[in-house]
Amino acid sequence: MNDDERPSDGARDLDDQSSYVCRSCGEEIVVPIDPLAGADQEYVEDCPVCCRPHVLRVRISRDGRVDLTAEAE
Ligand SMILES: [Zn+2]
C-alpha cells in the first residue's frame, strides 16, 4: 500500500515557480524555477518593475520544496 501516491502528476510534484519581494520597490516578483539547473542555484536578475538587480538564491529540497531568497546586489 502506498497512500502517498497521487493518481495524477505524482512524479512531478515540484514547484516550478517561486516569488520574492523586491527590496527596492516592494513588488512581489514571481520567477520561474528550473529544477534541472540544480538544487542550489544563484543568479542575478533585474526586477521587472524597477530594474534593480537582485541576487537570487534558489534551493530545492529533496521533497521538491523551493526556497527562494533575494538580496539587493
Ligand atoms: Zn523592484
Ligand 1 center from residue 16 Cα (angstroms)? 21
Could you tell me what percent of the chain has a pLDDT over 90? 66
pTM greater than the 0.85 cutoff: no
For residue 3, give the amino acid letter. D
pLDDT at 48: 95
Mean pLDDT over 23-35 rounds to: 93
Cell matching residue 15 = 514547484
pLDDT for 44 equals 96
- Band (64; pLDDT cuts 50, 70, 90): confident
Residue ranges covered by each domain of the chain = 38-73
User: What is the 3-state secondary structure of the chain?
Assistant: CCCCCCCCCCCCCCCCEEEEECCCCCCEEEEECCHHHCCEEEEEEECCCCCCEEEEEEEECCCCCEEEEEEEC
51 CA from centroid of ligand 1 (Å): 6
Average pLDDT over residues 29-50: 94
Q: Which residues surround ligand 1, an ion (CB under 5 A)?
A: 22, 24-25, 47, 49-50
Give me ligand 1 centre to Cα 73, in Å: 12
